[in-house]
Structure 1
Amino acid sequence: MATIVMERIGRVFISLQQIRQVPQMLTEATPSMPDTVRDSEVPHYFRERYVCSGYRKLDQNWRYYFLSLFQRHNETVNIWTHLLACLVFLAKLNKLSETVDFAGDAHSWPLLVLIVSSFIYSAFSATAHLLGGKSVLCNYCFFFLDYVGVAQYQYGSAVVHFYYAVDESLYRQVKGLFMPTATLLSCLSCLGCCFGKYANHRLPTWVRKVCQVVPSALAYIWDSSPVAMRLLSWSSTDSTIVSHFGQVAFFISCAFFFTFPLPECCFPGRCDFLGHSHQIFHLLLSCCTLCQIHASHLDYVDRRKLYARLHESGEPALFVALYAVTLVVCSLIAVVMMKKVKRVIDFKAKSK
């Protein structure tokens, strides 16, 4: 009997020893990451103002950058904020599909465009921050992809605002002009962002910011004009007004943090991993998008009599087609700018 007891105790001891070895086994199974480096050790294309450390090394294999998703560096939070936003937007789409007939109700297509464009911009952004550190060429390529995502999301914002949030007087004034202009401004926004990125090696930082911010600001002002009219003519019976106010407040806040490097300019090197402005921008933009989706869904439900009367039967399909045009044109802009970048990189390589 004593022998049996001792054997069982021995087995338990061995099991505990094996459990204690699990963390070490996992550590050994996961390839070690090279140490991150300081800003002085990467090309200036990769440097962010007042972010002094946590940069990943260049020219590693692809596995290194994919695994960096689970490592600590100055892009970790940027990646996860929009990666989690992707999942939230998918969950939101799944939840709305329980009550909204996206396939059979043409009036729901603008809402679907918004959610799809929200998923795309967050997915493209997460990809850019994850893989853009591999090389100079990859940095341009993936961030151009990011700008395509932002531009097509601008169109997604415009279509729901014009379709669901617009009042009758504004609709009559801009009926045939609003969405083509939104398409044009989205494409100009993509071009401005791509050019700002392309020229950032020979132009001051503020010039790059102007190229990126001004076209996007014009697009936002135009795209959000129906919401602005709603806010100006506020009514206590408008159940959606709080959500619309929320999306505007979040957007203005995230535009501020995109433009100004706060708080890292006050604490250089102390916000490298957590707390710098681009991370705050990501969080605020995701909150803005969630408010926008919520507000658009409420308008879709509550204002059906109005928008069903204003919009012609073929307009939802036309707006979906314009979304496809926007996505294609912005992609072509990114491809053209990418070719220009590659020529510059090849020329520099040959001249060495």
Structure 2
Amino acid sequence: MHNRTASRRKVELVDSCLEDRKQEKDKEKKKFERRLVKYDDLPEYLRDNEFILDYYRCEWPLKDVFLSVFSWHNETLNIWTHLVGFLIFVGLMVMSSMGEQLGGLITNVSRARVSGQLMTPMIKDFNGSDHDIFPDSQLRHISHQSDFQVQEVNGYEVIPKWPWFVFLSGAMGCLVCSSLSHLLACHSKRFNLFFWRLDYAGISLMIVCSFFAPIYYTFYCNPYSRLFYLTFITVVGILAIITLLAPALSSPRFRSFRATLFLTMGFSGVVPAAHAVVLHWGHPHVFISLSYELVMGFLYAAGAAFYTSRIPERWKPGTFDIVGHSHQIFHVFVVLAAIVHSVATLIIMDFRQGSPTCV
């Protein structure tokens, strides 16, 4: 009887030791899985920028990857720069849906940045009378119109807002896809391939959606031109998305190709912009809106230049691992460009709202 009791205690003691050892190994494994690693310790599929030397998350558990949005690593600002941009466009969507006034932004920015430099504060309207460049009365109509139906008020068409919502939706989709990609791509090779392709598709989506509102409102009374330009950019965008979904093109060596493709899509708007200037020659709204679009193009090009050159981390590897590397700068330029495009679009909406009904 005594021997049985002793044997049982011995077995229990061994089991207890094994359990303690297992728990210690699990703790060590978890600690290892959550630690930040150096570039040289990464698997090949996670090696994208050899000038960022440290603070990488590598194959963390999914729960820890999600929680890492609130911790510091070399992707933290990549996540939050576009997440903040996403929230900005969510706010614009909510304001537009609820009929809030966006006219004040256009009036203040346009007068301060453009009208004071390019023209006098007063201009002639189509009937020859004086009025402000961006009259609030017209801007208010934009917020209280039907989203899809064309109405007529005092001889002026109350324009639909759905192209504006297309742009906002595309911007939100791009920014949230980017944030998710930078957050989750470190989890596994499968996640890495999927989310980076999703990121590139999101960029293409935003570029296509950005064209809809300006082209729709600029060529509102020219349906054939409007249909041609919108069809062209949609087809180019679909082809770009299909191309970028190819796994081979997700590799770092195609970085310049991807940037060139996005810039080509963006600058395909040069032809409709030139057409718009000829069609509406002398109208200040069109010129002011176009000036903002040029600023937008500069911002996108500058962001792409940082993205492809890997400056400044190329100059001093390891210094900009957490804050200040090229991808973060690229993200900031993208958000700024999207905001500038929003202002340009609202100015064109004001122009169309204040124009006589199409004959």
Length-normalised TM-score, structure 2: 0.68
Q: Out of 285, 293, 301, which is 1:252 matched to?
A: 301
- Note if contact 1:127-1:142 (Cα within 8 Å) is conserved in structure 2: yes
Q: CA deviation at 1:71?
A: 0.9
Q: Out of 248, 269, 272, which is 2:318 matched to?
A: 269
Q: CA deviation at 1:88?
A: 0.5
* Aligned residue in 2 for 1:279: 328
Cα distance in structure 1, aligned partners of 2:202 and 2:343: 21
Pairs aligned (count):
272
* Aligned residue in 2 for 1:198: 248
Cα distance in structure 2, aligned partners of 1:198 and 1:52: 25
Cα distance in structure 2, aligned partners of 1:140 and 1:263: 26
Cα distance in structure 1, aligned partners of 2:72 and 2:335: 22
Secondary structure at 1:37's aligned position in 2?
Answer: coil
- Note if contact 2:198-2:245 (Cα within 8 Å) is conserved in structure 1: no
Q: CA deviation at 1:291?
A: 1.0
* Aligned residue in 1 for 2:48: 48
Secondary structure at 1:262's aligned position in 2?
Answer: coil
Q: CA deviation at 1:199?
A: 4.6
Cα distance in structure 2, aligned partners of 1:162 and 1:148: 22
Amino acid paired to 2:175: S
Q: Out of 220, 241, 255, which is 2:266 matched to?
A: 220
Secondary structure at 1:65's aligned position in 2?
Answer: helix
Secondary structure at 1:158's aligned position in 2?
Answer: helix
> Mapping of 1:313-332 within 5 angstroms?
none
- Note if contact 1:102-1:109 (Cα within 8 Å) is conserved in structure 2: no
Aligned in 2, Cα 1:286/1:200: closer, same or farther, shift over 3 Å?
closer
- Note if contact 2:171-2:206 (Cα within 8 Å) is conserved in structure 1: yes
Secondary structure at 2:80's aligned position in 1?
Answer: helix
> Residue 144 in 1 paired to residue 197 in 2?
yes
Q: CA deviation at 1:159?
A: 1.1
- Note if contact 2:75-2:183 (Cα within 8 Å) is conserved in structure 1: yes
Q: CA deviation at 1:245?
A: 3.0
- Note if contact 2:201-2:244 (Cα within 8 Å) is conserved in structure 1: no
Cα distance in structure 1, aligned partners of 2:315 and 2:351: 46
Cα distance in structure 1, aligned partners of 2:356 and 2:260: 31
Q: CA deviation at 1:40?
A: 1.0
* Aligned residue in 2 for 1:211: 257
Cα distance in structure 1, aligned partners of 2:218 and 2:283: 16
Amino acid paired to 2:178: S
Cα distance in structure 2, aligned partners of 1:306 and 1:291: 23
Amino acid paired to 1:283: V
Cα distance in structure 2, aligned partners of 1:297 and 1:66: 36
- Note if contact 2:200-2:241 (Cα within 8 Å) is conserved in structure 1: yes
Amino acid paired to 1:75: E
> Residue 180 in 1 paired to residue 226 in 2?
no
Query: Over the residues paired in the alignment, what is the CA RMSD in angstroms?
Result: 2.9
Cα distance in structure 1, aligned partners of 2:330 and 2:95: 26
Cα distance in structure 2, aligned partners of 1:70 and 1:161: 37
Aligned in 2, Cα 1:200/1:82: closer, same or farther, shift over 3 Å?
closer
Secondary structure at 1:268's aligned position in 2?
Answer: coil
Q: CA deviation at 1:230?
A: 5.6
Q: CA deviation at 1:63?
A: 0.9
Cα distance in structure 2, aligned partners of 1:273 and 1:240: 37
* Aligned residue in 2 for 1:28: none
More displaced stretch, 78-87 vs 293-302: 293-302
* Aligned residue in 1 for 2:78: 78
Identical residues among aligned pairs (%): 24
> Residue 127 in 1 paired to residue 180 in 2?
yes
> Mapping of 1:102-121 within 5 angstroms?
103-105=147-149, 107-121=160-174
> Residue 66 in 1 paired to residue 66 in 2?
yes
Q: CA deviation at 1:229?
A: 5.3
Query: What runs of 5+ residues in structure 2 fail to find an aligned partner?
Result: 1-29, 100-142, 151-159
Secondary structure at 2:198's aligned position in 1?
Answer: helix
Q: CA deviation at 1:216?
A: 2.1
Listed one character per residue, the Cα deviations across residues 316-346 of structure 1 (whole Å, up to 9, x for unaligned) are xxxxxxxxxxxxxxxxxxxxxxxxxxxxxxx
Aligned in 2, Cα 1:167/1:265: closer, same or farther, shift over 3 Å?
farther
Amino acid paired to 1:48: D
Q: CA deviation at 1:302?
A: 1.8
Q: CA deviation at 1:306?
A: 5.5
Q: CA deviation at 1:286?
A: 0.5
Q: CA deviation at 1:200?
A: 5.4
Amino acid paired to 1:220: G
Aligned in 2, Cα 1:172/1:216: closer, same or farther, shift over 3 Å?
same
- Note if contact 2:193-2:250 (Cα within 8 Å) is conserved in structure 1: no
- Note if contact 2:196-2:250 (Cα within 8 Å) is conserved in structure 1: no
Secondary structure at 1:272's aligned position in 2?
Answer: coil
Cα distance in structure 2, aligned partners of 1:86 and 1:178: 27
Cα distance in structure 1, aligned partners of 2:177 and 2:146: 24
